[in-house]
Every structure is written in C-alpha cells, then in structure tokens.
Amino acid sequence: SQPYSLLLLPGDGIGPEVMRQVRRVIDWLAKKRGLEFKVEEALVGGASIDAHGVPLTDAVMAKAHAADAVLLAAVGGPKWDGLTFEKRPEAGLLRLRKEMDLFANLRPAVVFDALVDASTLKPEVVRGLDIMIVRELTGGVYFGEPRGIEDLGNGQRRGINTQVYTTDEIRRVARIAFELARGRGNKVCSTEKSNVMESGLLWRQEVTAVHKAEYPDVELSHMLADACAMQLVRNPKQFDVIVTDNLFGDMLSDEAAMLTGSIGMLPSASLGAPDANGKRKALYEPVHGSAPDIAGRDIANPIAMLLSFGMALRWSFGLHEEATLLEQAVQNVLNTGMRTGDIMQPGMAKCSTSVMADTILREMDKLTAG
C-alpha cells in the first residue's frame, strides 16, 4: 500500500546511468498516476568500498530489509578486481541476496517481435520466445563450505568450493517454478548434473517428489545442464519454465539473454518466502553487469533496468496496469526502430541511454492520453 517504499542501489559502471532512468519513470508515475513512492538511494559495490571500505554497510543492509522493494543496477569493475572475495563489490550483492533470503531468482527471457533480427540466432528459432528461468539464488557453490585457497606447502595451492543443496532448498525453489508454470505454459524443465553430482541427483529426486505430491497437473521434464545449454540455442521454444541451481542458472540466463538480442534487455526479480501477511522480500536487478567497457558514456541499454522496475511494480506493489503500461511503451518504442548500440540493426536510429528513456516516457504519455 502507499507510499511504496523503494531502495535504489545504483552501484557501479553503467549502474547509475540506467538507474537514473528508473527515477524518471518513478517521477512520471507519481505525477501522472498519483502514485506515492518513498524513494531512498544508497551505495553498494565498488561505490560503497570507495566511501566506506566495505561493499555493503550494515546501515544499507538494514534499509534493504525495511524497504518494500530493492532495486539494484550493477556492481563491480576493474578498479576492485584485485580485492579478496569478502571485500569485492560482488560480495555486497551476495550479502543482500543471502541475508534477505532471496532464494528464487526469476529471469524471464522474452523476444520482442521488433528484435527478432537482433538475435544472433535465426529469426524462426527465436520469434515469439517467452521462457522463464528460475535460478536458485542463496545456495549451491556460491555459498557452500568449505571454500578458500589453501597453500599445500609444496609449491602447490588448492582452490576449493563446495556444491551443496538440502531438501528444503530444492523444494522451495521447485514450488516457485511449478506455481509460475501454472500461470504460463504449464511446463517445467528441471536442470542439473545428476549423472555426475550427488547434489544434482538429490535435486532431481526432490523436484520429482514435489511434483508428484503437489503439482501432478504440471508437465515436468528433466535435462542434464550441458544438454539444456545446447537445447537452449538449438530449439529454445521447447521450454516454458526452467528451474535450476545457482551456478547453472547464472550461465543459462546469460545464454538466454542472447536469444533476446542483448543482455541489456533482461530483467530479473529475486524473491524470498512470504511472511505472515503474504509479502515477500524482493530485489530487482537486470541480468547484466556494470559493463565497464561502455560505462560513463550514456550509451548503455536501460531497458533491462526499466523492465526490472516493471517486475517490482507487478510483484511487490501489485501495480499490474502500470507494469503493463511500461512494458507496452518499451515494445512500442522498439517497434519504431529506436535502438541503443547493443541492439542496433542496419537502418535503425541509434540513440543514447537517456534518449531511449525519453522516448519510452513519451510513449507512456501517449498510451495514457485521453
């Protein structure tokens, strides 16, 4: 309910450039739709390291817990690449995910008609594609213990990470996937390496058990993760919802991004378990990173960030009409041939980050006029 409280974490690289455009959409919604947002902005990642020596302060962590929704643009960059893991910008993002218990990362990959030719794949392979990758986000090799780099004392060192999943971790993310499938194409493909990894075998067994007991109406299939990566480019339209672990989900969603034309197009929502009032903690972030190679030039594609805000409108605030309006505006603007560099096609008008957002806002004006 109003005011909707939002914590904005622009982060590093192109982060502030794309987050600035979200601010403008928030202002538009306040002015034109009479919605009341309580917006705070704070530092995360390299920006927080530079100011406070850590990638996420306890004060910002507390603000994140208190907000109805958190929006994060991107963290990281070459400036901080030499730091140890706990001190890196990425550690700030991982702490947010872990402490807010955001176990379900929803990464939709949708191909807009206007961008069918922007994909590196053949038009007929991607036209009309609409898949949802559900990535487990608080477990697996990202957080498993033991981890570290050990000195073996004989001139050798050993790097260690642990892939580990429990029954509950698998079951709760599987339920999210089945629930989502019921509202879409009613199909779930679960992906792991049960032929090589015990954690993968447990994954398959538990997903199968949840399916049998609670979601027998949904069509479930299993695929080994390597085969899934292959099928995703061979025939992506066979998929509806894909559910997978933290690491495979990271890789498969970057792969899926290229089906849509650019990683600059893909939004995501990271959700926690519902509290007593049915409200979930949530963090919204584009799938892309801080893109140091193009940062500071106002040329990044803001659409992944804007659509992430759209997911916040939908999932955290229940503002479905406004979310649809934003999505429709994005689609219409793409139809006019407006393009940032990453989705540029011959004969189309190349525009900056801010002009792309200008045009989307003007389209929202048009869609709501009269």
Q: How far is the CB of 102 from ligand NAD (least distance, A)?
A: 12
Provide the H-helix boundaries in 34-163: 46-52, 58-66, 89-99, 123-126
Catalytic-residue membership of 275: no
Retrieve residue 296's tokens. Answer: 């500071």
Interface residue with ligand IPM among 68, 245, 250, 327 (CB under 6 A) is 250
Q: Quick one: 200 or 289, whose CB is closer to ligand NAD?
A: 289
Question: Is 90 a binder of ligand IPM (CB under 6 A)?
Answer: yes
Catalytic-residue membership of 254: yes
CA distance 24 to 305: 12
Q: Quick one: 207 or 263, whose CB is closer to ligand NAD?
A: 263
Query: Which amino acid makes up residue 9?
Result: L
Residues that bind ligand NAD (CB under 6 A): 14, 74-77, 90, 93, 263-264, 285, 288-294, 300-301, 304, 342
Q: How far is the CB of 70 from ligand NAD (least distance, A)?
A: 12
304, 306, 302, 300: which is closest to 342 by C-alpha?
Answer: 300
CA distance 183 to 123: 26
* Position with the least CB separation from ligand IPM: 90
Catalytic residue, candidates 142, 165, 215, 284: 142
Q: What is the three-class DSSP state of 271?
A: strand
Residue 93 sits at φ, ψ, to 5 deg, of -65, -40
Catalytic-residue membership of 237: no
- Subset of residues 22 to 81 that bind ligand IPM, contact rule: CB under 6 A: 76
Q: Quick one: 290 or 359, whose CB is closer to ligand IPM?
A: 290
CA distance 285 to 72: 5
Retrieve residue 159's tokens. Answer: 């790097």
Contact (CB, 8 A) for 253 and 270? no
For every residue of 337-354, DSSP letters joined together read TEE-GGG--TTSEE--HH
Question: Is 93 a binder of ligand IPM (CB under 6 A)?
Answer: yes
Contact (CB, 8 A) for 132 and 108? yes
From the list ligand NAD, Mn ion, ligand IPM, none, partner contacted by residue 313 (C-beta under 5 to 8 A by kind):
none
Residue given tokens 């919604």 in the structure block: 29
For CA atoms 230, 137, 48, 340, the dihedral sign is: positive
CA distance 368 to 282: 28
Please tell me whether 10 is known to bind a ligand.
no
200, 58, 180: which is closest to 130 by C-alpha?
Answer: 180
Q: How far is the CB of 237 from ligand NAD (least distance, A)?
A: 24
Catalytic residue, candidates 250, 281, 284, 342: 250
126, 120, 119, 100: which is closest to 7 by C-alpha?
Answer: 100
Q: Quick one: 5 or 352, whose CB is closer to ligand NAD?
A: 352
Question: Is 245 a binder of ligand IPM (CB under 6 A)?
Answer: no
Q: Quick one: 219 or 254, whose CB is closer to ligand NAD?
A: 254
Q: How far is the CB of 186 from ligand IPM (least distance, A)?
A: 27
Catalytic-residue membership of 151: no
CA distance 108 to 267: 7
Catalytic residue, candidates 117, 130, 254, 358: 254
From the list ligand NAD, ligand IPM, Mn ion, none, partner contacted by residue 353 (C-beta under 5 to 8 A by kind):
none
Stretch of 39-47, 90-98, 175-183, 219-227 lying at the interface with ligand IPM (CB under 6 A): 90-98
Evaluate the omega torsion of the peptide bond into residue 3 and state whether it is cis, within 30 degrees of 0.
yes
Q: How far is the CB of 258 from Mn ion (least distance, A)?
A: 13
For CA atoms 256, 260, 264, 269, the dihedral sign is: negative
Catalytic-residue membership of 250: yes
- Subset of residues 236 to 255 that bind Mn ion, contact rule: CB under 5 A: 250
Please tell me whether 299 is known to bind a ligand.
yes
- Subset of residues 261 to 320 that bind ligand IPM, contact rule: CB under 6 A: 287, 289
Retrieve residue 131's tokens. Answer: 């898949």
Q: Show binding-site residues for substrate.
A: 97, 107, 135, 226
For the annotated catalytic residues, the residue numbers are 142, 193, 226, 250, 254
Binding site for ligand IPM (CB under 6 A): 76, 90, 93-94, 250, 287, 289
Q: Show binding-site residues for NAD(+).
A: 77-90, 289-301
Binding site for Mn ion (CB under 5 A): 250
